[in-house]
Amino acid sequence: MKSLAFIITRQNLPEFVENQILLPIVRGEFGITPAALFFVDDGVYSLMKATRAAGYLKTIIEKYQIPIFACQDSIMNRNLQNLIIDGIRFGKLKDFLEASDQADRILTF
């Protein structure tokens, strides 16, 4: 497997997102570097500065330069644009698909 990409759609899975996706990426436990992450719908709440996930996301951005996208519409509809950690790219599904073009698999949670 060359690479994975992730789509996170729900906010009510914080332990799963943090412990089963973000922390293993930080630790290099997948054995590959994910191509991209895309947060959509209520999943965008995981991108807020005040979350535990924020620390993992900052490391992923700085250490691995993995593109992390927030659905522009999801962010604007929830009025979160000023509450999201730095380094998150606002975009559409098209932007995520272009960034994850090299992924063998896209996993959605």
Q: What secondary structure does DSSP assign to the chain, as a single string?
A: ---EEEEE--SS-HHHIIIIIIHHHHHTTTSS--SEEEE-GGGGGGGBTTSTHHHHHHHIIIII---EEEEHHHHHHTT-TTTBPTTPEEE-HHHHHHHTTT-SEEEE-
Kindly indicate the confidence band of residue 13, based on its pLDDT and cuts at 50, 70 and 90: confident
The tens digit of pLDDT for each residue in 62-106 reads 998 999 999 999 999 999 999 999 999 999 989 988 888 888 889
In the predicted structure, residue 42 carries a pLDDT above the cut 90: yes
Kindly indicate the confidence band of residue 23, based on its pLDDT and cuts at 50, 70 and 90: very high
Q: How far apart are CA 4 and CA 91, in angstroms?
A: 19
Q: How far apart are CA 68 and CA 75, in angstroms?
A: 14
Amino acid 1: pLDDT: 56
CATH superfamily of 4-108: DsrEFH-like (3.40.1260.10)
In the predicted structure, residue 57 carries a pLDDT above the cut 70: yes
* Residue corresponding to tokens 């519409």: 73
* Residue corresponding to tokens 């729900």: 10
* Cα first-last separation, the chain: 20
